[in-house]
Amino acid sequence: MSPAIDILCRSLSRRDTLLPEEMDLLARLSQRPAQYAKGAEIIAEHSRPPASCLLVSGFAARAVSRANGKRQLTALHVPGDFVDLHGLLLRVMDHSVVALSDCTVVFVPHGELRAISETAPHLTRMLWLSTTIDASIQRKMTALLGRHTPLQRLGHLICELYLRLEAVGLAANGRFRFPITQSELSDILGLSLVHTNRTVQELRATDLVAWDHTNVTVRDFDALARATGFDPTYLNLTPEPR
């Protein structure tokens, strides 16, 4: 099994049991690998991708262009995410996907994904689930931007990222890598760069989180979750029949 399909299976298996034949179907998918440097555009807005992009390593983000030419980052993607699986049905992308760090991806042809939808109903539901979780994360971010303090937004994001990375084996013992600039973080949190820097310092001062350049350590996850109102229900990390 390739690294790409392995990390996808890890992500899906946290939500439901994948049968051996379903893993075999995924393993037989065609994969076109590609590398993107930090800042590169992985998927272009208004494009018509013939394949969906699976993130294998690195961090990526959805970006919506503004009339003045600037962009707004609207969602983060971690390894194991199909960053544009919805493109299979939407056809034309209404946003772009950009690399926040050096990224490795594979592109899976839409034709092969459609074939799965016709022959493997349970696996289809699992892939569908991944797009509904994307929507859940987006809803949560909207609520955070509208109803939470900057410190709560940042702490909540740290809790979410830790669990999403832990699900694919990229976080453990409270530690994970988060190679993102404060400028990018301010865009995600809807804050000015100055306010973002102040909020990061405020979070460090709580002693619940240590943040050293690209390395984050959550010293007390439960306390951080309580302080930020984090409820992981929207991530659907409990295995159950789908």
pLDDT > 90? residue 190: no
Per-residue confidence (pLDDT) for residue 215, from 0 to 100: 95
Of residues 192 and 22, the one with the higher pLDDT is 22
Across the range 153-169, mean pLDDT stands at 96
Average pLDDT over residues 175-184: 93
The model's confidence at residue 83, banded by pLDDT at 50, 70 and 90, is very high
Compute the average pLDDT of residues 40-52. 94
Paired residues of 64 in beta bridges: 72
- How many CB atoms lie under 10 A from the CB of residue 68? 6
How far apart are alpha carbons 9 and 105 in whole angstroms? 15
Residue 91 banded pLDDT, cuts 50, 70, 90: confident
Which tokens in the block code for residue 221? 């996850």
Q: What are phi and psi of 175, to 5 degrees?
A: -115, 140
pTM: 0.94
In the predicted model, what is the mean pLDDT of residues 8-37? 96
The whole-number pLDDT of residue 101 equals 96
Residue 147 pLDDT > 90, yes or no? no
Q: Report, in this order, helix, strand and coil percent for the chain, each rounded to 5.
A: 45, 20, 35
HSE-CB for 8 with a 13 A CA cutoff: 30
How confident is the model over 94-117, as pLDDT tens digits? 889 999 999 999 999 999 999 999
pLDDT band at 69 (very low <50, low <70, confident <90, very high): low
pLDDT on residue 72 = 82
Closest CA relative to residue 238, chosen from 134, 163, 141, 175: 163
At 75 the pLDDT is: 87
Helices 121-147, 110-119: crossing angle, 10 deg rounding:
110
Q: Which residue has the tokens 């930090």?
A: 38
Query: Quick check: helix, strand or coil at residue 149?
Result: coil
